[in-house]
Amino acid sequence: MKRAVVLSVAAAAWLAHARGSAAEERIALLPLDLGGDLGASRPDVEAAVARGLAIAGRAVMSPDDAAARARTAQAEIECRTPACWGRVGAVTEAAYLVGGSVGRAGGSFHVKFQLVRAADGSTLATEENECEVADCSVAELARLSARELVRQTLGPVPAAATSATAAAPHSGDERREGTRAWWPPVAVGVGVASIAGGVFLLKLHGDCVQSVAPGEACRDKYSTLPWGLITVGTGAALATLGVVYLVRDVAGRPVVSLAPAVGAGALGVAGRF
């Protein structure tokens, strides 16, 4: 009986400690100031921001939950002073607060976020980005901007990564980031080397054509025209693919559209910038 009581007390203490740790690490996302024709609903935009914040490995409180707690405590949630931020942090039991705005002006989306430490109301980081409507979605711009807001300040916390992922799962692009981080430069390097090898084979064929009698064709080992064209085309495709994935805008989309072009005695890359 005594042993059971001891175990119960220990379990209760551990649970209290775990809850305290979760509260200390929590990020409260406050209701965002939305403006303009975004083409996306408030829940979609705020969910995208929550996914971006989840990279810090901390639980993310939703804006609805934060607003409800503030209403219950009769606390102001639109803060401009450190004292106000501190009161919101106490109400939400969060260590960090994120607020900001998402809007559209003309043909561009614009986002601005602020990361605040609730303990003293100090601003740890701000992130402001914009992109053209034709080149990105407002949700993706908001997600990536929120991710950058916390990545350089809070950083990932592996111990809490499981709960954070459950609260705001990463998108498919985030899961693929580790894969595409290394292969684009390799593709460019292999592509350039293949192009150089193909040009050499084409040169061999050209030398052969000039050396044989008129009307005769290059044969045997000197007939390198097909292999040269294949090697150049393959190299151009690899290099182009690598460049497209290396050069990306803030929304994670290619800012150029490229295609290899092989002509008589020339190799080029054509596209839209």
pLDDT in tens, the chain (273 residues): 444 433 343 433 344 344 444 444 789 999 999 998 888 999 999 999 999 999 888 899 999 999 999 899 888 888 888 888 889 999 999 999 999 999 999 899 999 999 999 999 899 999 999 999 988 899 999 999 999 999 888 876 544 343 433 344 444 444 444 434 567 788 888 989 989 988 888 888 777 777 766 656 666 555 677 887 898 889 888 888 877 777 654 344 444 444 444 444 444 444 443
- What pLDDT shows up at residue 228? 79
Q: Which residues contact 6 (CB under 8 A, 6 or more apart)?
A: none
Neighbours of 247 (CB within 10 A): 13
- What pLDDT shows up at residue 265? 44
- What pLDDT shows up at residue 130? 92
Which domains are present in the chain?
A: 25-174 (3.40.50.10610), 183-272 (no CATH)
- What pLDDT shows up at residue 267? 47
The DSSP H or E segment spanning 63 is helix 63-72
> How far apart, in whole angstroms, are the C-alpha atoms of residue 159 and residue 107?
42
Backbone angles phi, psi at 256, to 5 degrees: -130, 150
3-class SS of residue 143 = helix
Closest among 198, 184, 191, 203 to 242, alpha carbons compared: 184
> How far apart, in whole angstroms, are the C-alpha atoms of residue 254 and residue 238?
16
